[in-house]
Structure 1
């Protein structure tokens, strides 16, 4: 059985079809002129020389306009085929960038203008126009394994010098330290009160995560099954419960590649119900003193690929702040997953091998973080341990040593959940399973969930045979509480 689940291939193919249709309109000559004039209208920095061909990122497509003077500007559109809630995503990112620009020293491209789909060139979608940041690449370019191309999955150079790696990690550590000081009274995404961007951003809407967007696209979870856009969370335990519910929705609604067999379905059902049990009992939040806040600013997509550097490998800008939200403090207290450039669920040699490679790099990162903490304390930009014990480096070390790193990772990523739950979480919370039979854990669940399991197991193969139902843009599927 596979350790990690896959997206629904039919849903992915459908997204590909939508993207190819949308993509055909990106190279229209009239559109190029419209985009160029749109950027120049808000840049006011001289005449445009060249509008470069559109480039595709992880979640967006952007055009760069070279100017006669200065670095120029860019306009960016979310790809509607793969990531839902494009306007919600954009408005939250704009508010986040405004907040970070006003409250941190993180270098971020300046927003010149933004707007909704109806205001965009060719109605391509909601858009942001930003100043272009000259750069010599990103942190992946200087840490990637030699010989890999842009088409390959990045992998940390196994022979990288520790001193160089500590300098790179130090750049990221500085960003994480500043984010950890951004505190809020609720869990959710930032937005402008009443849509007025003259006002300071506040936590006003649901925490729009990568996971929520992917659930809508690649598990085809109907919108009404996910937290409503206006929903914010007042405690970490409440949010962990919502994440556990979403894991169940992923298993319930995804029709293809969700389960491999009846036993595989039972095992995934039991794991998700046990995880929800832990959430409801308030056992997933590690530091209970933070259960009611303050909550820390967290970015799902913060990683070395989104940190641009100058020729001397110093920080130029941190970009792509979509999927940023106030989250449980546990998220910030967990050490970063990206130290090897590859996520644990993408590591071909398996979780144990990932851990073996990760731990030596974690030691280097924590050393870099401790150095950065001392620097910021000396500069008066960070309170010392006497004022705010313990420091972030100590909290990250504890998160790894206690295994809470895996709680946070499993909670955030529905498709990585199963392999991590059975490898790291089941025994941590419920003790050793002497028989090794996952069905032994069934007795830990309430009777109604036990009785519902076989009906659920029978339903999954039938749904796969039936294929896709209604378009997931429409709230047409029945409610499924399992």
Structure 2
């Protein structure tokens, strides 16, 4: 069984083509100079000393300007990459807001060092109308936390992997730095699930849908029409989980290429998604894994990981970046221990899921010790005592031991869903069966659990998906700016 549902290869190629062309476009002399002038005018009356292309990350291109009064640091202009970000305006608005919210609301004793946003704007306000943008402070750093954790000698295009020879004492110290951020973020919450908007000098409300990384990726690489995405905020966790379950089904229905490889594979994937939705809809099943139905809903960042945590020469955290997919979410997301303890996701682990779990559990015990130390310091500072069962470390331990971790992971990761569901979720709720040793056939023993209309839907889509496999077409629904740039490329 494949460990993940492959990306739509036609959409992936087009996304990469647009990204590469746009990055070349940025280095047109006139465009490059206009960006520099725009940043210099923003910084007036400071005298700039250097201007350069800073980096192209997974979702953004950045330019850095430094100044003669170097003690005050530099300024970064960041632009979402067309063809990669499917919701650039929404992304910029949400990211600027959440950085301001975090800066205001984290405590003096446990701050999360985020860049200070000095300006953000829409496409028509940007130089050469390149796209929506954020101008923020530059955080001077020596390296990322990932550089300290990963295997030495890794090449830039290789997948990350935790250094297997890292000293336990050093690992705990680095995990402690990360645990401080995770813990501090967990203390921020709202009474709805969604993205934040500032409504007054110190007042905030959940005003927009929770724009997740998965939503972006299933439009970009899963060819889901944008109109199929949720648009609401949520006051109950079960409503949001049901929306995520529906997204899994819609994704499978709409991905044009690489979604299935046979009729049985199609049925197996539909059965998994219908049963996952059943876990949400059935009250008795839901009560086994979901808590805090009515909140509070902590702030959650889909893209928080060691690579986005900046450290100085002393390996102390000086900044945390890349907050675009951050929103308030069900508490189960926060109660699940971080997937990134090994740096690599389980669906990409070359030795398979079972080995990932073995290695992860070893590192998890070290991280939980670091989290407990973090909690002790925090509650001692506040002169508070907390029952063991109320601690975030205890809830993380329970999430892993119970398997709730995998429900949260499957809910958020569309392309990893199938292997996670059949290996880690199905038997917990629906019992073992004679197909346990052949997970590819396990779906056949679950058909009786489906509703009649679900079986009908599955049968309708099997023939459709098989016919789609006969041709390779691009079926894509990008944002208007990406469409405009595509037209410019073809002109």
TM tier, smaller: over 0.9
How far residue 320 of structure 1 moved from its aligned partner, in angstroms, is 0.9
Residue in 1 that maps onto 2:266: 265
Distance 1:474 1:360 in 2: 43
Distance 2:408 2:211 in 1: 16
Residue in 2 that maps onto 1:110: 116
Cα-to-partner distance string for 1:21-73 (whole Å, 9 max, x where unaligned): 32232012222332222223333472112211252101100011122122211
How far residue 121 of structure 1 moved from its aligned partner, in angstroms, is 1.1
Higher alpha-carbon deviation: 277-286 or 454-463: 277-286
- 1:183 and 2:185 equivalent? no
The TM-score with structure 2 as length reference comes to 0.92
Distance 2:251 2:171 in 1: 37
SS in 2 for 1:96: helix
Residue in 1 that maps onto 2:439: none
Residue in 1 that maps onto 2:150: 144
Distance 1:167 1:265 in 2: 46
- 1:221 and 2:227 equivalent? no
How far residue 466 of structure 1 moved from its aligned partner, in angstroms, is 4.3
Distance 1:435 1:10 in 2: 35
Distance change (3 Å), C-alpha of 1:331 and 1:289: closer
Residue in 1 that maps onto 2:487: none
Give the conservation status (yes or no) of the 8 Å contact 1:36–1:48.
no
Gaps of 5+ in 1: 476-482
Distance 2:322 2:45 in 1: 23
RMSD: 1.8
Residue in 1 that maps onto 2:379: 377
Residue in 2 that maps onto 1:346: 348
Residue in 2 that maps onto 1:478: none
Give the conservation status (yes or no) of the 8 Å contact 1:95–1:190.
yes
Distance 2:474 2:63 in 1: 36
Residue in 1 that maps onto 2:486: none
Divergent runs of 4+, >6 A: none
Give the conservation status (yes or no) of the 8 Å contact 1:241–1:279.
yes
How far residue 190 of structure 1 moved from its aligned partner, in angstroms, is 1.2
Residue in 2 that maps onto 1:192: 198
Higher alpha-carbon deviation: 466-475 or 36-45: 466-475
Distance change (3 Å), C-alpha of 1:348 and 1:285: farther
- 1:126 and 2:127 equivalent? no
Give the conservation status (yes or no) of the 8 Å contact 2:53–2:63.
yes
Cα-to-partner distance string for 1:381-437 (whole Å, 9 max, x where unaligned): x85314x95100000000000011000000000000000000010001111123444
- 1:69 and 2:74 equivalent? no
Higher RCO (CA-CA < 8 Å; seq separation 6+): 2
Cα-to-partner distance string for 1:265-301 (whole Å, 9 max, x where unaligned): 1110100010011111243465655011111110000
Distance 1:417 1:54 in 2: 35
How far residue 321 of structure 1 moved from its aligned partner, in angstroms, is 0.8
The TM-score with structure 1 as length reference comes to 0.93
How far residue 145 of structure 1 moved from its aligned partner, in angstroms, is 0.3
Give the conservation status (yes or no) of the 8 Å contact 1:26–1:54.
no
Match of 1:439 among 437, 444, 457: 444
Distance 2:371 2:202 in 1: 34
SS in 2 for 1:260: coil
SS in 2 for 1:186: coil
Distance 2:406 2:450 in 1: 22
- 1:277 and 2:278 equivalent? yes
Distance 1:345 1:459 in 2: 27
Cα-to-partner distance string for 1:168-213 (whole Å, 9 max, x where unaligned): 11111111111111111111111234xxx75633211111000000
Distance change (3 Å), C-alpha of 1:286 and 1:385: farther
